[in-house]
Protein backbone atom coordinates (compact mmCIF):
# COMPACT_ATOMS: atom_id res chain seq x y z
CA UNK A 1 0.00 0.00 0.00
CA UNK A 2 2.79 2.45 0.91
CA UNK A 3 4.50 1.93 -2.46
CA UNK A 4 1.26 2.87 -4.20
CA UNK A 5 0.97 6.05 -2.11
CA UNK A 6 4.52 7.03 -3.10
CA UNK A 7 3.72 6.34 -6.76
CA UNK A 8 0.55 8.44 -6.52
CA UNK A 9 2.38 11.39 -4.97
CA UNK A 10 5.12 11.50 -7.59
CA UNK A 11 2.67 11.00 -10.45
CA UNK A 12 0.78 14.08 -9.24
CA UNK A 13 4.04 15.97 -8.81
CA UNK A 14 5.10 15.34 -12.42
CA UNK A 15 7.76 17.73 -13.75
CA UNK A 16 7.69 19.60 -10.42
CA UNK A 17 9.61 16.61 -9.01
CA UNK A 18 12.82 18.35 -10.06
CA UNK A 19 12.00 21.68 -8.41
CA UNK A 20 14.04 20.76 -5.35
CA UNK A 21 17.17 20.67 -7.51
CA UNK A 22 16.71 24.39 -8.18
CA UNK A 23 17.72 25.13 -4.58
CA UNK A 24 20.91 27.26 -4.97
CA UNK A 25 22.57 25.65 -1.94
CA UNK A 26 22.23 22.25 -3.62
CA UNK A 27 24.26 23.06 -6.76
CA UNK A 28 27.63 22.01 -5.38
CA UNK A 29 26.24 18.77 -3.95
CA UNK A 30 24.58 17.86 -7.26
CA UNK A 31 27.87 18.43 -9.08
CA UNK A 32 29.84 16.40 -6.54
CA UNK A 33 27.36 13.51 -6.53
CA UNK A 34 27.13 13.51 -10.33
CA UNK A 35 30.91 13.10 -10.57
CA UNK A 36 30.93 10.36 -7.95
CA UNK A 37 27.99 8.50 -9.49
CA UNK A 38 29.60 8.67 -12.92
CA UNK A 39 32.78 7.15 -11.52
CA UNK A 40 30.93 4.33 -9.76
CA UNK A 41 28.84 3.36 -12.81
CA UNK A 42 31.51 3.82 -15.50
CA UNK A 43 31.36 1.03 -18.06
CA UNK A 44 28.46 -0.78 -16.39
CA UNK A 45 25.23 -2.04 -17.89
CA UNK A 46 22.82 -0.35 -15.47
CA UNK A 47 19.28 -1.06 -14.34
CA UNK A 48 17.91 2.10 -12.71
CA UNK A 49 14.93 1.70 -10.39
CA UNK A 50 12.77 4.72 -9.61
CA UNK A 51 14.05 6.82 -12.51
CA UNK A 52 11.27 9.41 -12.17
CA UNK A 53 11.76 12.21 -14.68
CA UNK A 54 15.22 10.96 -15.63
CA UNK A 55 17.37 13.56 -13.85
CA UNK A 56 19.85 10.98 -12.51
CA UNK A 57 19.35 8.71 -15.53
CA UNK A 58 21.01 11.38 -17.63
CA UNK A 59 23.91 11.55 -15.18
CA UNK A 60 24.34 7.75 -15.13
CA UNK A 61 24.22 7.53 -18.92
CA UNK A 62 27.24 9.80 -19.30
CA UNK A 63 29.61 7.05 -18.14
CA UNK A 64 27.62 3.80 -18.17
CA UNK A 65 27.73 1.42 -21.12
CA UNK A 66 23.92 1.35 -21.15
CA UNK A 67 20.98 2.18 -18.90
CA UNK A 68 17.51 0.66 -18.63
CA UNK A 69 15.55 3.18 -16.57
CA UNK A 70 12.43 1.87 -14.82
CA UNK A 71 9.62 3.60 -12.97
CA UNK A 72 6.17 2.52 -11.83
CA UNK A 73 4.64 5.76 -13.21
CA UNK A 74 4.09 5.81 -16.97
CA UNK A 75 3.60 9.60 -16.86
CA UNK A 76 7.07 10.13 -15.35
CA UNK A 77 8.67 7.73 -17.83
CA UNK A 78 7.12 9.79 -20.64
CA UNK A 79 8.77 12.92 -19.20
CA UNK A 80 12.11 11.11 -18.85
CA UNK A 81 12.00 9.99 -22.49
CA UNK A 82 12.05 13.64 -23.55
CA UNK A 83 15.44 14.29 -21.95
CA UNK A 84 18.44 14.62 -24.29
CA UNK A 85 20.08 11.19 -23.95
CA UNK A 86 22.70 9.54 -26.13
CA UNK A 87 20.77 7.67 -28.81
CA UNK A 88 20.78 3.91 -28.36
CA UNK A 89 22.33 4.08 -24.89
CA UNK A 90 19.25 4.58 -22.71
CA UNK A 91 15.92 2.76 -22.78
CA UNK A 92 12.88 3.07 -20.52
CA UNK A 93 10.30 0.70 -19.15
CA UNK A 94 7.26 0.99 -16.90
CA UNK A 95 7.58 -1.58 -14.10
CA UNK A 96 7.30 -1.95 -10.32
CA UNK A 97 10.72 -2.16 -8.67
CA UNK A 98 9.24 -4.47 -6.04
CA UNK A 99 7.94 -6.90 -8.64
CA UNK A 100 10.35 -6.84 -11.57
CA UNK A 101 9.28 -8.90 -14.60
CA UNK A 102 11.15 -12.10 -15.44
CA UNK A 103 12.36 -10.64 -18.75
CA UNK A 104 13.93 -7.54 -17.18
CA UNK A 105 17.35 -8.56 -18.53
CA UNK A 106 20.92 -8.96 -17.31
CA UNK A 107 22.89 -6.11 -15.73
CA UNK A 108 26.22 -5.55 -14.00
CA UNK A 109 24.85 -2.75 -11.78
CA UNK A 110 21.59 -1.54 -10.24
CA UNK A 111 20.97 2.11 -9.35
CA UNK A 112 18.16 2.75 -6.85
CA UNK A 113 17.40 6.45 -7.24
CA UNK A 114 15.69 8.13 -4.26
CA UNK A 115 13.40 5.14 -3.78
CA UNK A 116 14.97 3.30 -0.83
CA UNK A 117 14.02 5.98 1.71
CA UNK A 118 10.36 5.82 0.60
CA UNK A 119 10.07 2.08 1.30
CA UNK A 120 8.95 0.69 4.63
CA UNK A 121 10.91 -2.15 6.24
CA UNK A 122 8.88 -4.89 4.53
CA UNK A 123 9.22 -3.21 1.12
CA UNK A 124 12.99 -2.76 1.54
CA UNK A 125 13.30 -6.48 2.24
CA UNK A 126 11.08 -7.21 -0.77
CA UNK A 127 13.27 -5.06 -3.02
CA UNK A 128 16.44 -6.86 -1.96
CA UNK A 129 14.79 -10.25 -2.46
CA UNK A 130 13.56 -9.21 -5.92
CA UNK A 131 17.03 -8.06 -6.98
CA UNK A 132 18.60 -11.31 -5.83
CA UNK A 133 15.94 -13.35 -7.63
CA UNK A 134 16.10 -11.45 -10.92
CA UNK A 135 19.78 -10.44 -11.11
CA UNK A 136 21.75 -12.95 -9.04
CA UNK A 137 24.99 -12.62 -7.06
CA UNK A 138 27.80 -10.07 -7.22
CA UNK A 139 25.84 -7.41 -9.12
CA UNK A 140 26.85 -3.89 -8.02
CA UNK A 141 24.06 -2.19 -6.06
CA UNK A 142 24.15 1.60 -5.80
CA UNK A 143 21.61 3.41 -3.63
CA UNK A 144 21.39 7.19 -4.01
CA UNK A 145 19.10 9.11 -1.66
CA UNK A 146 18.31 12.20 0.39
CA UNK A 147 20.06 13.22 3.58
CA UNK A 148 18.08 15.10 6.22
CA UNK A 149 18.85 18.81 6.09
CA UNK A 150 17.45 21.02 8.84
CA UNK A 151 15.19 23.71 7.41
CA UNK A 152 14.99 21.99 4.01
CA UNK A 153 13.73 18.45 4.53
CA UNK A 154 10.10 17.75 5.45
CA UNK A 155 9.67 16.75 9.08
CA UNK A 156 8.60 13.27 10.17
CA UNK A 157 4.89 13.08 11.05
CA UNK A 158 4.73 9.68 12.75
CA UNK A 159 6.65 6.47 13.44
CA UNK A 160 5.37 2.89 13.15
CA UNK A 161 6.19 0.24 15.80
CA UNK A 162 8.68 -1.36 13.34
CA UNK A 163 10.56 1.95 13.12
CA UNK A 164 9.25 3.06 9.72
CA UNK A 165 8.78 6.84 9.67
CA UNK A 166 6.26 8.80 7.61
CA UNK A 167 5.94 12.29 6.16
CA UNK A 168 2.83 14.10 4.99
CA UNK A 169 3.58 15.67 1.60
CA UNK A 170 1.46 18.17 -0.32
CA UNK A 171 0.95 17.99 -4.09
CA UNK A 172 0.91 21.13 -6.29
CA UNK A 173 -2.90 20.93 -6.17
CA UNK A 174 -2.93 20.91 -2.38
CA UNK A 175 -3.69 17.23 -1.76
CA UNK A 176 -1.96 15.83 1.33
CA UNK A 177 -0.51 12.32 1.01
CA UNK A 178 1.23 10.29 3.70
CA UNK A 179 4.29 8.38 2.49
CA UNK A 180 7.10 6.47 4.17
CA UNK A 181 10.34 8.44 4.42
CA UNK A 182 13.36 7.35 6.39
CA UNK A 183 16.65 9.08 7.08
CA UNK A 184 18.71 6.07 8.13
CA UNK A 185 22.09 6.32 9.80
CA UNK A 186 25.08 4.47 8.40
CA UNK A 187 24.74 1.82 11.10
CA UNK A 188 21.03 1.37 10.36
CA UNK A 189 21.74 0.98 6.65
CA UNK A 190 24.44 -1.59 7.30
CA UNK A 191 22.13 -3.54 9.61
CA UNK A 192 19.21 -3.49 7.15
CA UNK A 193 21.30 -4.46 4.12
CA UNK A 194 23.91 -6.67 5.75
CA UNK A 195 22.17 -10.03 5.29
CA UNK A 196 21.60 -9.46 1.55
CA UNK A 197 24.75 -7.65 0.39
CA UNK A 198 28.51 -7.42 0.97
CA UNK A 199 31.30 -4.83 0.63
CA UNK A 200 29.15 -1.92 1.87
CA UNK A 201 30.58 1.58 1.42
CA UNK A 202 28.69 4.76 2.34
CA UNK A 203 29.55 8.36 1.51
CA UNK A 204 27.61 11.42 2.63
CA UNK A 205 27.51 15.07 1.65
CA UNK A 206 25.06 17.67 2.89
CA UNK A 207 22.01 16.89 0.75
CA UNK A 208 22.69 13.32 -0.44
CA UNK A 209 24.19 9.99 0.49
CA UNK A 210 25.34 7.15 -1.73
CA UNK A 211 25.81 3.51 -0.77
CA UNK A 212 27.62 0.95 -2.90
CA UNK A 213 27.73 -2.80 -2.28
CA UNK A 214 27.38 -6.14 -4.07
CA UNK A 215 24.49 -8.58 -3.89
CA UNK A 216 25.28 -11.81 -2.07
Q: Name the DSSP letter for residue 131.
A: H
Q: Where are the beta strands (DSSP E) in 11-159?
A: 45-49, 66-71, 90-94, 109-113, 140-146, 158-159
What integer best gives the mean pLDDT of the chain?
93
Average pLDDT rounded to a whole number, residues 177-192: 94
Side-chain-side CA neighbours of 160 within 13 Å: the count stands at: 16
Q: What is the pLDDT of residues 91-128, one digit of tens each?
A: 999 999 999 999 999 999 999 999 999 999 999 999 99
Cβ-based neighbour number of residue 177 at 10 Å: 16
What is the domain count for the chain? 1
CB 92 within 8 A of CB 81: yes
Q: What is the pLDDT of residues 126-153, one digit of tens each?
A: 999 999 999 999 999 999 999 999 988 9
Q: Name the DSSP letter for residue 203.
A: E
Q: Do strands 208-215 and 197-204 pair parallel, antiparallel, or not at all (unpaired)?
A: antiparallel
The CATH number covering residue 78 comes to: 3.40.50.150
Q: Which domain holds residue 34?
A: 2-215
Q: What is the pLDDT of residues 52-84, one digit of tens each?
A: 999 999 999 999 999 999 999 999 999 999 998
Amino acid sequence: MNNQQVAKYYALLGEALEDKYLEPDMDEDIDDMSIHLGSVLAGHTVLELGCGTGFWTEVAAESAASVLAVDINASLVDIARERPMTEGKVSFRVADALDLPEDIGTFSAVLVSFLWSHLNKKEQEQLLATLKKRLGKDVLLVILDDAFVEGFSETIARTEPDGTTYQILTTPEGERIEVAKSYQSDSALRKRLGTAVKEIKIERIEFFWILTCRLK
